[in-house]
Every structure is written in C-alpha cells, then in structure tokens.
Amino acid sequence: MHSLAHPTAAPELLPGAVWLVGAGPGDPGLLTLHAVRAIRAADVVLYDALINTEILAEARPDARLVCVGRRKGNAPTAQDEIVRLMIEHARQGARVVRLKGGDPCMFGRGGEEAAALRDAHIPFRIVPGVTAGIGGLAYAGIAATHRDANAAVTFLTGHQTGGALPGDLDWDALARNDNALVVYMGVSALDRIVPELLAHGRDASTPVAIVAQATTPSQRVVTTTLGEAIFAARRAKIETPALIVIGRIADPALATPWFEPQQDERAARITDRSLLAAFTA
Ligand code: SAH
C-alpha cells in the first residue's frame, strides 16, 4: 500500500491531531488509502452510526471505538459533545479519527467540526470520502451526470435539524429544468418533496430512482416516476439510508445496473473483510 502513495503524499496521523475521515457509503473497498491508514493508526475513533462497522476491524485492538451516532434507539451524542470529545482526546495526546459515512463535508457537518478544531488550535486534516450521492448512484448503475440527460446535478437534503424540509429551497428552480436532483435523507420527506416539485411544474412522468443501502449486500433500487414515487416507496417498504434520484439520469433506459447483490451470491462477498485486507495488503 505504501508503494501506491508518493512518500511526500502519505501524511501521518500524529498524536494530538484529529482527522475528519470519510468512510464512504458502505463497501469497505471505497475507503481511501488515507482513511485506512488513519483508522489503523488511531488511538480513538469517534464514528457515526451510518458507517459500516466492518471498517472498525481495521483499528488497533487497543483503540477506543466510540459510536457517537444514533444506535438501537439510543439518542445520538449531541454535536457540541462530539466536538468536545474530539478536542479533549486530542489535547490528551491521542491520535483521533472522526469517522463519518460518505464524505465528511456532504451533509455531514465536516465543515463545522473543522472550524471547531481550527478555533481550538488542534491540528486537523479532512480526508474526503466517496459520497453516497455519487458512489451509491454508481452502484445502481446511475451516472450522476449523463451527456444525454443533464448538465447539472443538485444535491439536497430532505431533512434539516428538527426534521423539517429546509426552508430555503427554491422549488421553482429545482422543478424548472431537466437538471438532476439527488436527495439525501429524503425518504420520510418524500410526501412533501414530490407535491412541491409537481406544484412548481416538474412533470409527473419524470424518472425517479430510490437507491437504498447502496454498495452493501442489502442494496435495493426502486425505479418509478415522480407521480408514483410516494406510493412506490411505501409499497417497496424502502429501508434507510436511501437516496432519491429525480431526473432523466434515473431513467432505466440510461442506467447500467451491474451490482445486484440480492441476485448475485458472489457480489455479497464485497463486504468481506478479507477483501479490504486484499486491497490494502
Ligand atoms: N456524509 C454522507 C451523507 C450523510 S447524510 C455522504 O456523503 O454520503 C445521510 C444520508 O446519506 C442518508 O439519509 C442517505 O440519504 C444517504 N446515504 C448514506 N449512505 C447511504 C447508502 N449506503 N445508501 C443510500 N443512501 C445513503
């Protein structure tokens, strides 16, 4: 693995530092080399509920692994408590990894946490990850941009702090043209998102894909249309996490599905830890 990285491009997680690390959408093979090295070096890993816990097997046996996300009905650790923990461990001289699903800065508060570390004069690094809205789509055979479909793609969240739809979304702009929308945290807000788009003029026949548990052995893709999406999601009993893709990129005619773990026993091995070991040996 070291041979893959240029010597000067292989930074080291040092005592007293915090790295904000993206873990990707689930498949451990989508971790970056920086991410794997940091997890292996860490004294403390503060991880979100969304990450694939197989990844934690890469941590040292004596590392402290702390779940700060919502787990089995437990309330998630408050954001200021997470920041406090990062800073406290770093000040005690620990090598700290703050591990987040996907990319730390895509609906992941990576920007806020980096600012808090800067303000506390803690050395930090941001290790980008494969965000679900791109990598998860790829595992559904959906290209985030397709020459025949869209010249722009908008990532939006269906869920603000408190659970409401963000108030500052410009539904006119989102509905107006053929651009693709990729909605994070959107399943429970689908019954508000769909009527807004229809009311602002988006065509009911617009293709929609719902990509659930992308890149994992439980991945499911439901293709439907904007007019049918609420019903289709209910009927399919979509399990989160899931992305909602709206626009021509979601048209099955443009998609090239290749990862179908439910049908393909071999693909289920993709999260086998030995695979990660093979990647990084
Ligand atoms: N920082 C993460 C996103 C965190 S917000 C990233 O860059 O991917 C959480 C939302 O991400 C979920 O509600 C879902 O919409 C999406 N998501 C994350 N992992 C996913 C996965 N494996 N499959 C489908 N959606 C996923």
- Proportion of the chain above pLDDT 70, given as a percent: 89
Q: pLDDT band at 269, cuts 50/70/90?
A: very low
- Same domain (yes/no): 189, 214: yes
Given 130, 157, 181, the domain boundary residue is 130
Q: CATH no. for residue 191?
A: 3.30.950.10
Q: Is residue 188 part of a domain?
A: yes
| pLDDT above 80: residue 200 | yes
What type of residue sits at position 256?
A: T
CA 185 to ligand 1 center in whole angstroms: 7
- Ligand 1 pocket test target in 32, 105, 107, 211 with most atoms within 8 Å of CB: 107
Domain that holds residue 170: 133-250
CB atoms within 10 A of CB 108: 21
DSSP strand E in the chain: where?
18-22, 44-47, 64-67, 96-100, 124-127, 153-157, 180-184, 207-212, 220-225, 242-246
Q: Is residue 3 part of a domain?
A: no
Beta bridge partners of 245: 182, 209
Q: Is residue 264 part of a domain?
A: no
Q: Which atom of ligand 1 is nearest to the CA of 132?
A: 8
Q: Show the tokens assigned to 273.
A: 């830890």
* Domain tally, the chain: 2
| pLDDT above 50: residue 267 | no
User: Which residues' Cβ are closer than 6 Å to ligand 1?
Assistant: 25-26, 50, 100-103, 106-108, 131-132, 136, 184-185, 211-215, 240-243
| pLDDT given for residue 101 in this prediction | 97
- Residue bearing the bigger pLDDT, 27 or 164: 27
CA 102 to ligand 1 center in whole angstroms: 6
Q: Which residue puts its alpha carbon closest to atom 18 of ligand 1? A: 132
Given 111, 130, 149, the domain boundary residue is 130
| pLDDT above 90: residue 99 | yes
Average pLDDT over residues 60-83: 88
DSSP codes joined into one string, 203-225: -TT-EEEEEESTTSTT-EEEEEE
- Same domain (yes/no): 110, 173: no
> 99 with 47: CB under 8 angstroms?
yes
- Ligand 1 pocket test target in 243, 244, 245, 271 with most atoms within 8 Å of CB: 243
Q: Is residue 71 part of a domain?
A: yes
Q: Which residue puts its alpha carbon closest to atom 13 of ligand 1? A: 185
| pLDDT above 70: residue 174 | yes
- Same domain (yes/no): 206, 122: no
Q: Which residue puts its alpha carbon closest to atom 19 of ligand 1? A: 25
Q: Which atom of ligand 1 is nearest to the CA of 186?
A: 15
> What average pLDDT is seen over the chain?
90
DSSP strand E in 51-143: where?
64-67, 96-100, 124-127
The CA–CA distances, whole Å, from 53 to 31, 58, 87, 121, 208 equal 13, 10, 23, 30, 30
Q: CATH no. for residue 58?
A: 3.40.1010.10
- Same domain (yes/no): 97, 188: no
- Same domain (yes/no): 144, 87: no
Q: pLDDT digit string (tens) for 207-250?
A: 999 999 999 999 999 999 999 999 999 999 999 999 999 999 99
- Residue bearing the bigger pLDDT, 2 or 19: 19
Q: Is residue 100 part of a domain?
A: yes
- Same domain (yes/no): 28, 121: yes
Q: Is residue 162 part of a domain?
A: yes
